[in-house]
């Protein structure tokens, strides 16, 4: 009588590893626990592991950088018991970033949007290996997001310090002769706001739980802490401030050759730099990319020459995206980082959380 459930679980795990290989490459040395099937709820949230994490900006002290794996290592998330990290278990950031499928769509949208600032794009074009090693860049980005969101306070501090060290080395001159510096507070704010807007919009459209206006503002405010630590200034603290920020920055934006080339690379999912995927995988990727384009502001899509779907097309696209993302959500199960972080926050062994963990 256990044949069907065990067969389904074996199939799910096989698909999970295939998805990870397709999205992140071959993540060697992963130490996190296996995710568990999604259920209606998660383990109880311990008192004291909530907003205190969001207010932990004062604990972002300088500590040595460490090398992180594709999504971090188990030690980044597991201790010490009771440590809420930078956000805590009742933060909106945990809810939004715990859903990998919608984060994938939001991440694509953020990358497309970021290409429109010529100085930010110049830094990517001249210092990033996004063309020669797109999966490696994706793993590093996923590691940063995962560790700063769900990692212990110390691990998150280390990840942030590592990023600051990298930024100090990224300097140059854009094609129009304007100098750029990745540590420029203005550019840091641009990159941050693109990510926050895209992650939030993707989750509100495709995520498994609703996020109302109050929670959405809270997410923007929570994430502002990370941007300020990295050196950003004038960071929006609400959705209304995000909208105002984009209105104010639009005169600086342009779709030059680097932007159009970068956007084309993203839309074509790596072009010739990635192995040719199976037909079903290619179709799923295409749906995710089109869903990301649909998240862009109209002016941004227009600048990049990307056609947003018309209303009838949008209805079909959103239904297709929800089907693809729902399948991914079932295949991936609960985020391993979220399982370990819940366990750490509650002060329980990781194995216990892995048994009782709910949907991200």
pLDDT in tens, 35-51: 333 333 333 333 345 44
Going from the C-alpha of 123 to that of each of 113, 176, 274, 287, the distances in angstroms are 15, 13, 23, 29
Which tokens hold the place of 274?
């990635």
Query: pLDDT tens for residues 233-256?
Result: 999 999 999 999 999 999 999 999
- Does residue 19 lie in a domain region? no
State the total domains in the chain: 1
Q: Given this model, what pLDDT does residue 355 score?
A: 28
Q: Given this model, what pLDDT does residue 352 score?
A: 34
Going from the C-alpha of 319 to that of each of 67, 211, 306, 359, the distances in angstroms are 40, 20, 20, 21
Question: CA-CA distance, 15 to 21, in Å (whole number)?
Answer: 10
Containing domain of residue 149, as a range? 49-67+84-330
Q: Which residues neighbour 224 within 8 Å (Cβ) at sequence distance 6 or greater? A: 235, 236, 237
- Does residue 185 lie in a domain region? yes
- Does residue 146 lie in a domain region? yes
- Does residue 4 lie in a domain region? no
- Does residue 180 lie in a domain region? yes
Among 72, 74, 95, which residue's Cα sits nearest to residue 143?
72
Burial 239-263 (b: 16+ CB within 10 A, else e): bebbeebbeeeeeebebbebbeebb
| 3-class DSSP state of 181 | strand
- Does residue 170 lie in a domain region? yes
Going from the C-alpha of 135 to that of each of 96, 221, 285, the distances in angstroms are 22, 30, 14
Global pTM value: 0.81
Q: Given this model, what pLDDT does residue 27 score?
A: 44
Q: Given this model, what pLDDT does residue 49 score?
A: 58
Backbone angles phi, psi at 105, to 5 degrees: -65, -45
Q: Which residues neighbour 333 within 8 Å (Cβ) at sequence distance 6 or greater? A: 12, 16, 34, 35, 36, 37, 38
Give the chain's residues under pLDDT 70.
Answer: 1-73, 270-277, 279, 348-360
- Does residue 214 lie in a domain region? yes
Q: What is the dihedral of CA 319, 322, 325, 328, to 10 degrees?
A: -90
| 3-class DSSP state of 216 | helix
- Does residue 26 lie in a domain region? no
């Amino acid at each position: 009588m256990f044949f069907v459930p065990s067969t389904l679980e074996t199939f799910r795990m096989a698909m999970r590893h295939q998805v990870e290989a397709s999205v992140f490459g071959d993540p060697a040395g992963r130490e996190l626990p296996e995710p568990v099937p999604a259920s209606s709820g998660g383990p109880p949230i311990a008192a004291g592991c909530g907003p205190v994490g969001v207010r932990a900006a004062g604990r972002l002290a300088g500590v040595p950088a460490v090398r992180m794996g594709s999504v971090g290592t188990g030690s980044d998330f597991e201790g010490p018991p009771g440590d809420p990290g930078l956000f805590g278990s009742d933060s909106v950031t945990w809810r939004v970033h715990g859903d990998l499928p919608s984060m994938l769509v939001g991440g694509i949208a953020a990358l497309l949007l970021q290409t429109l600032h010529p100085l930010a794009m110049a830094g990517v074009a001249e210092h990033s290996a996004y063309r020669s090693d797109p999966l490696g860049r994706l793993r590093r980005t996923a590691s940063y997001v995962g560790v700063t969101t769900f990692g212990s306070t110390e691990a998150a501090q280390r990840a942030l310090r590592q990023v600051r060290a990298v930024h100090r080395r990224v300097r140059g001159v854009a094609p129009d002769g304007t100098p750029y510096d990745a540590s420029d507070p203005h550019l840091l704010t641009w990159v941050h706001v693109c990510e926050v807007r895209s992650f939030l919009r993707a989750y509100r459209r495709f995520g498994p739980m609703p996020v109302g206006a109050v929670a959405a503002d809270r997410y923007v405010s929570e994430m502002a802490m990370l941007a300020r630590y990295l050196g950003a200034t004038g960071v929006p603290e609400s959705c209304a401030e995000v909208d105002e920020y984009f209105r104010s920055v639009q005169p600086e934006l342009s779709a030059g050759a680097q932007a159009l080339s970068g956007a084309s690379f993203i839309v074509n999912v790596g072009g010739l730099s990635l192995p040719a995927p199976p037909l079903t995988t290619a179709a799923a990727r295409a749906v995710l990319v089109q869903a990301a384009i649909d998240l862009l502001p109209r002016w941004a899509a227009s600048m990049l020459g990307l056609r947003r779907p018309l209303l009838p097309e949008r209805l079909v696209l959103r239904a297709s995206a929800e089907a693809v993302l729902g399948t991914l959500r079932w295949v991936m199960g609960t985020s391993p980082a979220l399982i370990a972080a819940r366990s750490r926050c509650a002060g329980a062994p990781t194995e216990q959380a892995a048994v009782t963990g709910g949907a991200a």
